[in-house]
Amino acid sequence: MIEETIFSKIIRKELPSDMLYQDELVTAFRDINPQRPVHVLIVPNRHIPAVDDVTADDEAALGRMFSVARKIAREEGISDDGYRLVVNCGEHGRQEVPHIHMHLLGGEDVGPMLSRKNRDHS
C-alpha cells in the first residue's frame, strides 16, 4: 500500500495550496513555511518516499523537476541572482515528508550550504 502524504493530497487538489505548476509528472507549490522570499516545493506526482527509492522509471519525473525549477526561478525573477535547489533524504538528511521533493529557495542570499562547525568533522 502506498503511504499517503500531505503532498499526495496537494497533488490531487484535496488540500489547498498556492500551486504554481502541474503536469502529468510533477507539481510545484509554495511552501507554507517559507525560509526565503521564494520557497517553492517541486514534487513528483507519483509517490516516491525518498531518493533511496528512486528507480530508472523515475528519471523523466526527476528531470522534469529540474526543468520546472528553472521555469519557476525565471518567473519569480530570481534566476539572474541565483537560487538553491535542495533535496533531503532520510532522518540524518532532515527529510520531513516521506515523499521526495525539491526545495527551490531564492530571492535573497541563501547563505552557506553548511556552517563551518558542520564542515569540520575532525
Catalytic residue ranges = 101
Q: Which three cell numbers stand for residue 20?
A: 504554481
Single out the residue of 17, 41, 31, 39 nearest to residue 107, CA to CA: 39
DSSP category for residue 20:
E
Classify the C-alpha dihedral 67-69-74-79 as positive or negative: negative
Q: Look up residue 91 and give its amino acid.
A: E
The answer to whether 106 and 50 have CB atoms below 8 angstroms apart is no
